[in-house]
Amino acid sequence: MSLGRNLLDYTERCFNTAQSEVEYRRCISSAYYAAWHAICESIADKFAAELRPVLCRCPAHEKVKVCAANLRSRDSKWLPGHELTPEMDQFCTRFIMLQKDRHNADYSVVGTFSQQDARQAWVFAESIVNDLLPGLQGTFEYDAFVLGCIGLKPANRD
C-alpha cells in the first residue's frame, strides 16, 4: 500500500477518535499529507522506477499549489487559456483548500478547528486519493500539472 493511502487510513482512524481541537488539527494535517504523498507518488510513477526516490521528493509544496492555481485561472504555461474539465478543476481546488487548511491547522494559534473542518479535510483527501487522481492519470491536463510540478517549462519558440 502507498504512503498516501496509509495516511488516508490514518486520517480516518484519527477522525473517528478525535475529541479535541488538537486532534482535529492533526486530522486536517494528515489528510493533506495523504493527498500530498498520493500526488508525489503519481508523479514519480510517470517515470522510470530508478527515479522514484528522487521524484517523490522533488515537488515543492508551494510549486504544486501554484501549478494548481495557474491551471484553474487558465494561466498555466503548459495549457494557456485552457478550460479545465470539472474533475481537474475539482482536483486543483481541493488540493489548494487542503493545503491552506493544513497550514492553518499546523501554524495558526488564533484559529479554532472543529469536527466539521476535520471531516471536510478527510473527505477532500479521500476524493483526491481514491477518485480524482486515478481518473486523471494519463490525461493531458494532469500531465501538464506534473510537468509544472517538477519545474519543466515549455520551450520558447519565439
What mean pLDDT, rounded, does the chain reach?
91
Grid cell 519545474 is found at 151
Decide if 158 is inside a domain: no
CATH number for position 22: 1.20.120
Q: What is the pTM of this model?
A: 0.91
pLDDT by residue (tens digit) across 62-84? Answer: 999 999 999 999 888 888 888 89
Band (pLDDT 50/70/90 cuts) for residue 157 is low
Assess contact for 31 and 40: CB atoms under 8 A: no
Range of the domain at 16: 3-149
Band (pLDDT 50/70/90 cuts) for residue 88 is very high
pLDDT at 57 over 80: no
Band (pLDDT 50/70/90 cuts) for residue 49 is confident
Decide if 157 is inside a domain: no
User: How many distinct structural domains can be found in the chain?
Assistant: 1
Decide if 155 is inside a domain: no
Distant-in-sequence, close-in-space partners of 102: CB < 8 Å, separation ≥ 6? 28, 29, 31, 32, 33, 121
pLDDT by residue (tens digit) across 16-27? Answer: 999 999 999 999
